[in-house]
Chains A and B, each alone.
Chain A
Amino acid sequence: MLPIVIVGTGLAGYNLVKELRKTDTSSQVIMLTQDDGRQYSKPMLSTGFSKGKDDTGLAMADAAAMAEQLNMEVRTHCRVESIDTSARVVHTSLGEIAYGKLVLALGAAPVLPPIAGKEHLQVINDLQDYARFHAAVQGKQKILILGAGLVGTEYAHDLASAGYQVTLVAPDQHLLSRLMPAPAGDAIAAALQTLGVSLHLGQAVTAVAKAGKGFAATLQDGSELQADVVLSAVGLKPRTELAMAAGIECGRAIKVNRLLQTNVQDVYALGDCAEVDGLNLLYVLPLMTCARTLAKTLAGTPSQVSYGVMPVMVKTPTLANVVCPVAADMQGEWQIEQSGSDIKARFIDINGQLQGYALTGACTAEKMALNGQMPPLLA
């Protein structure tokens, strides 16, 4: 029998094999990754500095240990260059590999803003990036962060907690604008300011240039900011190139049905690179749900994925929070109750149904109650 080949050793890939091995100890599994295959938890990348961790401190196991633990083979520094779905072969930088079933767990890649000097920007999307950034900030003080989404906000909190002087610039009118309404974003902004973070919102960086030992960033209004290191966190794009070139259907991400199958037989996808029945969610909870479901299917019991309510916490320990994001095309309005930094914001649709929420401070205690009123994401 030909092996199950899994491309990607992030949380999606490794958790899939972990789940598979609970019931199927014998199928041959080969994992391929373009990086070094160390197992780590990506969400911990944005809490590493305040815990004084370098990349080694964040790594939980190396590829060889994972291979042994899960009775499989892991080929590291092995980049998949193309997929031939009719011959059932992947072409890699280390040669050809035939598959019986192929799973794409390719993740998402950071997007850089299209500005002059973008080659000076750092990104942190995996352990290697973290190591590079960690080395770049040693002995440095001033860090400029571009982006006010989950990743930019978390790094601002983490780096400021670790003693860096952090400035955050983003065109958004308030922090976390794609996740929560203004009062909640503003409460988190105030929490960041207590750590000394300086915020420039409603302003994009238009250029970054070398200046002395560091960099100078020009803002839309013409003003300039100096920094030792510039970190970009403006967005992530699901990795679809390989699938598209192989004729696998893609939308925002690789399209799969609720069996996590693509339109090509025996090719599956999960994690940040997958769009499950139209939903491309870049979080661990949906990915774990998919890993458990796909493990069953690969072990011989075809299973359909369903999603319940999927709340997200932005890791800003200075102000606890939890959000249930509202779908982009949802019609309705926010109803907000606020007492200081304790905020309860509920998004109610035109039929009076709760469709999302954002809670901060003491109001986070209402999470479970609100979850009970939310419709499941994929019933």
Chain B
Amino acid sequence: MANEFRKWQCIVCGWIYDEATGAPEEGIAPGTLWGDVPADWVCPDCGVGKDDFEMIEI
């Protein structure tokens, strides 16, 4: 499964969400797929919404 985890990058500030590691300090468990991150979640660094993230290839 691990190789199916993807990374997403905030297009405003460059913050990266890695599905494998999640964002435990923001309350998102490791292994949480981007699609399962709540819709009202915002980038911890710049506060833009989920719509402003785009997937980056790894």
Could you list which residues of chain A lie within 8 angstroms of chain B, going by C-beta atoms? 11, 15, 41, 43-44, 47, 60, 283-285, 288-289, 311, 313, 315, 365, 367-368
Known contacts A15-B48, A315-B14; can you find 8 more A-B pairs with CB under 8 A?
Answer: A43-B46, A44-B11, A284-B48, A285-B45, A288-B47, A289-B47, A367-B25, A368-B26
Chain A residue at minimum C-beta to C-beta distance from B12: A41
Partner of A284, one of B25, B26, B46: B46
User: For B13, what are the chain A residues with a Cβ–Cβ distance below 8 Å?
Assistant: 41, 43-44, 284, 313
A130 to chain B, nearest CB (A): 16
Chain B residue at minimum C-beta to C-beta distance from A308: B47
Secondary structure type dominating chain A contacts? helix
User: For B28, what are the chain A residues with a Cβ–Cβ distance below 8 Å?
Assistant: none
Q: Number of contact residues on B: which range applies?
A: 10 to 19
Question: Is B42 on the interface with A (CB-CB < 8 A)?
Answer: yes
User: For B11, what are the chain A residues with a Cβ–Cβ distance below 8 Å?
Assistant: 41, 44, 60
A293 to chain B, nearest CB (A): 12
User: For A315, what are the chain B residues with a Cβ–Cβ distance below 8 Å?
Assistant: 14
Report whether A285 and B47 are in contact in the complex, using a CB–CB cutoff of 8 Å.
yes
Q: Mark B14-29, 1 if CB is under 8 A from A, else 0.
A: 1000000000011000
Q: Known: A15-B48, A368-B25. Is A288-B14 also a contact (CB below 8 A)?
A: no
Report whether A284 and B14 are in contact in the complex, using a CB–CB cutoff of 8 Å.
no
User: For A368, what are the chain B residues with a Cβ–Cβ distance below 8 Å?
Assistant: 25-26
> What's the Cα separation between A229 and B24 when bound, in Å?
44
User: For A283, what are the chain B residues with a Cβ–Cβ distance below 8 Å?
Assistant: 46
Chain B residue at minimum C-beta to C-beta distance from A47: B14
> What's the Cα separation between A284 and B15 when bound, in Å?
13
Partner of A43, one of B14, B25, B26, B42: B14
> What's the Cα separation between A289 and B46 when bound, in Å?
10
The contact sample of 12 A-B pairs, CB cut-off 8 A, is A41-B11, A43-B12, A43-B13, A43-B46, A60-B11, A283-B46, A284-B12, A288-B46, A288-B47, A311-B45, A367-B25, A368-B25
> What's the Cα separation between A313 and B45 when bound, in Å?
8
> What's the Cα separation between A285 and B42 when bound, in Å?
10
Q: Known: A367-B25, A368-B25. Is A44-B14 also a contact (CB below 8 A)?
A: yes
User: For A285, what are the chain B residues with a Cβ–Cβ distance below 8 Å?
Assistant: 45-47
Chain B residue at minimum C-beta to C-beta distance from A369: B25
User: For A43, what are the chain B residues with a Cβ–Cβ distance below 8 Å?
Assistant: 12-14, 46
User: For B46, what are the chain A residues with a Cβ–Cβ distance below 8 Å?
Assistant: 43, 283-285, 288
User: For B45, what are the chain A residues with a Cβ–Cβ distance below 8 Å?
Assistant: 285, 311, 313
A333 to chain B, nearest CB (A): 27
